[in-house]
Amino acid sequence: MYGSQDHIPIQTAGPAPRPMKRHHTARYYVHRVRENLTTRVSKLICAIFLSLLFIVGLITFILWLSLRPHRPRFHIHKFSVPGLGQETGFENAQITFNASARNANQNIGIRYDSMEGAVYYRDQKIGTTPLIQEPFYQEPKNTTVIDGAFSGATLTVNSHRWMEFLNDRARGMVVFRLELTATIRFKVSSWESKRHRMHANCDVDVGPDGLILSASKDRRCPVYFS
């Protein structure tokens, strides 16, 4: 005889309950649409800006390649101190020189508004003189000859300074420095740049005869702007 057993119901696993869908309000969807539009507009503006920047940079680079701007090139050709061998030569002291300014640009002209020359000895200025009477325009691939002289009121040399010249002369060489200072503007077609202050420094070695030595003749002078 079997004992009675309680019947325990067995529950079978049914399908999992589905998550409840979250219903968004109309304001939420409007906000999402606005965010998407703002993001797309921002990306479009950035893309346009970068494209314009690239185009401007490319045009600038092409113009630079076509124009290839160069600063003027100066050379010293002649430089003399007549009477350098005379002990009392300072009474009629005179310095003359001949230089050239070359515009090596292909499509850029240079307008010279003014130019003056100064001569130095042992870094002491001993003379100044204006070199052009009125402004002039220098065409591309053109060379301008510059002649100048320091004498009288434009050259301040006393007996002591002249003796220093003679002492250097006895050692075989007197060293001078010619500085050419000009106010220039660059010109491309009808456009002109602002004014630039340009300096050309020419170191000149003079022999016992008072003439420029061959080592200094046709020497290129460094150019810088201030």
Question: pLDDT exceeding 90 applies to what percent of the chain?
Answer: 60
Whether the pLDDT of residue 1 is over 50: the answer is no
Question: Which segments within 3-108 are labelled E, that is strand?
Answer: 73-80, 94-103
Whether the pLDDT of residue 206 is over 90: the answer is yes
Identity of the residue numbered 25: T
CA atoms within 13 A on the CB side of 110: 26
The reply to whether CATH 2.60.40 applies to domain 73-225 is: yes
52-62 confidence digits (pLDDT tens)? 999 998 887 76
pTM reported for the whole predicted model: 0.72
The residue ranges of every structural domain in the chain are: 27-67, 73-225
If you average pLDDT over residues 75-85, what whole number do you get?
A: 95
214 by DSSP, 3-state: which?
A: coil
Distance CA 73, CA 82 (A): 28
Cβ proximity of 222 and 201 under 8 Å:
yes
28-42 confidence digits (pLDDT tens)? 555 566 667 777 778
Whether the pLDDT of residue 171 is over 90: the answer is yes
What are the backbone angles phi and psi of residue 95, rounded to the nearest 5°?
Answer: -130, 130
